[in-house]
Each structure stands twice: as structure tokens, then as C-alpha cells.
Amino acid sequence: MLPSVVAAVAFSAGVALGCEIPAQAPSSNIPGGFAIQIQSPDFPAADGHFMNTWLWGGGDFHLFVSPAGNATNNFTLVDGVITYPLDPIRRAVINGEYEPKDNTTKMFMTERGDPRGVFTVVYGCNPSDDSLQLELATPEQGTSGVQGNMGVRPFNGDLDFRWQPIGTTVSDPDRPWHKVTLVVRPAASA
Ligand SMILES: *[C@@H]1O[C@H](CO)[C@@H](O)[C@H](O)[C@H]1NC(C)=O
Ligand SMILES: *[C@@H]1O[C@H](CO)[C@@H](O)[C@H](O)[C@H]1NC(C)=O
Ligand SMILES: *[C@@H]1O[C@H](CO)[C@@H](O)[C@H](O)[C@H]1NC(C)=O
């Protein structure tokens, strides 16, 4: 191979070229079922893993990075809220174990009326193969008007999901929080 060709191949393999994003914004309702895959190229412990459920007591499910907990591809999205269509219906809420050290709050699933995690659905390009994907971005805590990022953080040897408001200025080196991208993986293709 000519050196210039080698260089061109290396370039295309290492750089996302930008898939074609549809002009129309995606719906904030996704009937599902779908699994949620995590992308965090800078944090391999979570990259490519899935959001799993963990029956926690009182009918709540806490959310963990796989392989902890149980895998599911039965999530739906209702008005931006990750929903688990069981009886009773569980919804993802942002309302637990606030931690001032990194300004994060836990996201988990419950039938109760805690402030929900309200995500904006956006198109993105898969950083590894450049395919078009649906991402759950910038969750808002209920109707607070405060938008954040979703991330993961160590919890008893596993990783759980925590919300951090955009613009947060604190971090906890003893228990680092890593921002992640949540990707919708429809059951049919999962
Ligand atoms: C996983 O699912 C099984 C079957 O529903 C249940 O018995 C078990 O408690 C679940 N485990 C976790 C960690 O949620
Ligand atoms: C998804 O839902 C279907 C229908 O209720 C059920 O049979 C299946 O076990 C569920 N799968 C998972 C992984 O939760
Ligand atoms: C924590 O988040 C709130 C918004 O909920 C924000 O007002 C505050 O400035 C943040 N604190 C720090 C230390 O970043």
C-alpha cells in the first residue's frame, strides 16, 4: 500500500466522519421495548455496557451498569421519561442520595411521584462505527428547569447512575463521576 493510502485508512478508522442527521428532531416518545447502552470512550469500565435493573425493595428498581443487576430490553420512553411498563408502572426519577461533594443525585425507578428524569431525545453518530443512533440527553430534574448530564459513579463495587447539573464546579476524586451517553437500542436489533 502507498503511504498516502495507509494514512487515509488510519484517518478514517480513527475519526468519526459524522453520519447524516435527519432534519426533523426525534420524538420524545419511543414505544420500545429497548435496552439502554452506555457510551463513554474515556471510561472503559462503562463503555458499551448496558443499563440494568436491580429490584431494591418497596417495588423500586435501582439502575446499575451491567453486569450488575438484571438486563432488560423492555424500557419505553414516555414524554422523555424512561419507563418500565410493569404493573404498577415504574418511572425513572432523579431524587435520591444527593451528594454535595460532586453535586450529583441518584436516578432510579419507582411508582411514586418523585421528580422524574426528563430526557431530550437527540440523534447522534455512533463514535465507533458512525451509524445513526438515538440518544437520551440532558435530563431535567422534574419541572425544575435545571438540566444536567447523566453519569455513572462507583457504588459498592458496581456503578450506579447519577445526575449532575450542567455547570457544576465540584468533583470528588475519591469517587469519580463520569459523564456518559445513553443510547437507545431497540429490542429487535439488540
Ligand atoms: C432479577 O430477576 C429475578 C427474576 O425476576 C429476581 O428474582 C431477582 O431478584 C432479580 N435480581 C435483581 C438484582 O434485581
Ligand atoms: C420483557 O417483557 C416481556 C413481556 O412482558 C417478558 O416476557 C420478558 O421476560 C421481558 N424481558 C426482560 C428482559 O425484561
Ligand atoms: C449544583 O447544582 C445546582 C443546580 O441544581 C447549582 O445551582 C449549583 O451551583 C451546583 N453546585 C456546584 C458547587 O456546582
CA 59 to chain centre: 22
Digits of tens for pLDDT over the chain (190 positions)?
444 444 444 444 445 468 999 999 999 999 989 999 999 999 999 999 999 999 998 999 999 999 999 999 999 999 999 999 999 999 999 998 999 999 999 999 999 999 999 999 999 999 999 999 999 999 999 999 999 999 999 999 999 999 999 999 999 999 999 999 999 999 975 4
Atom 2 of ligand 1, nearest CA residue: 70
In order of start, what are the domains of the chain with their CATH numbers? 23-183 (2.80.10)
Cell of residue 68, nine digits: 450488575
SS3 for 3? helix
Identify the pLDDT of residue 189: 55
Beta bridge partner(s), residue 38: 182
Please tell me the number of Cα atoms within 13 Å of 1 on its side-chain side. 8
Closest CA to 180 of 18, 20, 45: 45
Q: Is the CB of 168 under 6 A from ligand 3?
A: yes
The CA-CA-CA angle for residues 128, 133, 138, to 5°, reads 105
Identify the pLDDT of residue 132: 96
Distance CA 111, CA 133 (A): 29
